[in-house]
Amino acid sequence: ALAGIIMDDTSKTIVFSKNPVLRFSLASTTKIMTALAALEYYKMDDILTIKTDDIEGSVAGFKKGEKISFENLLYAMLLPSANDAALAIADNYPGGEKEFVKKMNEKALSLRLYSTHFADSNGLDDSQNYTTVTDLANLASAAIKNNIFSKVVSTKIKIISDIGNSNVYVLKNLNKLLGVQGINGIKTGYTDEAGGVLVTSEMQDAHRL
């Protein structure tokens, strides 16, 4: 890996680090912040509308005009890393994705992630989405304390549907390490430019790393 870090979640002690201030693209680990920002605005039973269905990369396959609960979109975004789910969450925010991304960056500043910047909600913009392993560890630390987020990212398989049950989707978590040696999250990411990015949460003797 070009960079890596292991942080004790309680004390914030750095157990190991390699290139801790090297900036790199987040890829789909961007969706950790998408989820955090969305959880501050949406209720789980809010109904959102799919406004765009022409999206590259990993998708759930939602169709334009489809109506889906925020809870189901959250699972779709965080398990199979669906870019269409992330964009739907941003598109339905007041002012659309532009305002939602602004909220993501405001949230980053509030968490003191000063080496992090977001340009979209799904992590496809490699040139403008960036972070460091130090910031990413601190973002993960904040996110995992949200009970809903923690529950979602620890789920291996989830079956969801749109409103009316017209379309059913089987969601499988891309995190192959989930459930191994105390690992209970968090998010994978990949683009050609970023390469592989992995944010992991592991429990060791009541300590979270």
Closest CA to 138 of 20, 19, 1: 20
150 is catalytic: no
- Of the residues 31, 103, 107, 158, only one is catalytic, namely 31
- Of the residues 81, 107, 187, 201, only one is catalytic, namely 81
31 is catalytic: yes
25 is catalytic: no
Task: Return d(Cα 48, Cα 38) in angstroms, integer.
Answer: 12
Q: What is the number of alpha carbons within 13 Å of residue 68 lying toward its C-beta?
A: 32
Provide the β-strand partners of residue 158: 171
Indicate which residues carry an active-site annotation. 28, 31, 81
